[in-house]
């Protein structure tokens, strides 16, 4: 069995590195990874843990002596299970090869954790256990040595490729952060506008009610005035009729008196 270990740092915050991890492939450096398929994804809201299972398809040249052993296949499949723990800020990825597993087993563990003293740095740790199976120990050692060397090569390319991905993703991250700020400002302005609008509506309704009350009062007063005018006219008409009646009666009495004379 051979052991492979690799440690490095990415000068980006953990949340940014974790988000960019889902866009790691494809990249111009890790050309051996040709496809990544999500098989399962589960979210535990109570623990803020996201579990993802993926199938990674790799296509990479192998030496002729190994082709003779495995039958000339250069396409391999890897099963990966990753766990993102937001509360503890850890991303743990465990993988194992599905191709040629009767001849070679590779168990790999990768972790991303924040730097303890600098939140703008993320620590990358990679460990792999490589075990070859066969009747001839010499052949097993050769297979393990070749796999170990391939891990070293892919690790160097993988770091450079992920750095490029992070660089592009960082620009998009900044744009997203700016958009969030703009969106926050817009929401704040909208809220302020709504408050002002509600105040205007309230004041308008209040003024409208006052005007309606005043108008109603005015209408009632006008109505009362008209009624008073009507009643006054009626009283005047009645007074005039009574006056005419008295005059007529007096006139008739005076006329009779003169007739007697």
Structure tokens at 18: 């974790």
Q: Examine residue 115 and state whether it is found in any structural domain, yes or no.
A: yes
Is-contact 222 230, C-beta < 8 A? no
Domain contains 261: no
Read off the DSSP letter of residue 133: -
Least Cα distance to 26 among 157, 174, 171 occurs for: 157
Own/partner long-range contacts of 167-171 (Cβ < 8 Å, ≥24 apart): 169/16, 169/19, 169/20, 169/23, 170/12, 170/16
Mean pLDDT by 10 residues, the chain (261 residues): 94 94 88 93 95 94 77 85 97 95 93 97 97 86 91 89 90 66 55 61 61 60 60 58 59 56 48
- List of long-range contacts for 231-236, beta carbons under 8 Å, 24+ apart: none
CATH of the domain at 154: 3.30.530.20
Contacts of 8 (CB under 8 A, 6+ apart): 124, 159
Structurally, the chain folds into a number of domains equal to 1
**Beta bridge partner(s), residue 257:** none
In a domain, 258, yes or no: no
Query: For residue 135, is it within any domain?
Result: yes
Closest residue by Cα to residue 99 from 125, 148, 66, 126: 66
Q: What is the pLDDT of residue 223?
A: 65
Instruction: Flag whether 199 is in a domain.
Output: no
pLDDT attached to residue 208:
57
pTM comes to: 0.66
Q: Establish if 51 belongs to a structural domain.
A: yes
DSSP-assigned beta bridge partners for residue 123:
9, 113
User: What integer pLDDT is reported at residue 196 of this predicted model?
Assistant: 54
pLDDT for 168 equals 87
Residue 194 lies in a domain: no
Structural domain that includes position 75: 2-186
Nearest to 9 by CA among 127, 154, 160, 124: 124
Does the residue 210 lie in any domain?
no
3-state secondary structure of 103: coil
- How much is the pLDDT for 139? 84
């Amino acid at each position: 069995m051979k052991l492979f270990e690799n440690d490095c740092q990415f000068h980006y915050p953990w949340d940014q590195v974790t988000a960019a991890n889902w866009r790691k492939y494809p990249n111009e450096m890790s050309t051996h990874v040709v496809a990544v398929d999500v098989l399962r994804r589960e979210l535990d809201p109570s623990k803020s843990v996201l579990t993802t299972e993926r199938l990674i398809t790799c296509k990479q040249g192998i030496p002729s002596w190994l082709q003779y052993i495995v039958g000339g296949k250069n396409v391999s499949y890897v099963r990966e299970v990753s766990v993102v723990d937001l509360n503890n800020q850890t991303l743990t990825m465990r993988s194992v090869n599905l191709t040629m597993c009767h001849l070679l087993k590779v168990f790999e563990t990768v972790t991303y954790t924040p730097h303890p003293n600098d939140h703008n740095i993320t620590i990358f740790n990679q460990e792999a256990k490589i075990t070859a199976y066969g009747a001839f120990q010499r052949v097993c050692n050769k297979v393990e040595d070749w796999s170990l060397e391939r891990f070293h090569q892919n690790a160097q390319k993988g770091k450079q490729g992920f750095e490029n991905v992070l660089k592009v993703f960082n620009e998009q991250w900044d744009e997203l952060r700016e958009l969030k700020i703009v969106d926050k400002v817009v929401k704040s302005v909208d809220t302020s506008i709504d408050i002002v609008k509600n105040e205007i509506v309230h004041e308008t309704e209040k003024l409208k009610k006052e005007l309606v009350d005043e108008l109603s009062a005015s209408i009632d007063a006008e109505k009362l005035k008209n009624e008073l005018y009507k009643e006054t006219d009626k009283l005047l008409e009645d007074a005039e009729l009574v006056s005419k009646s008295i005059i007529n009666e007096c006139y008739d009495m005076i006329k009779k008196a003169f007739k007697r004379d």
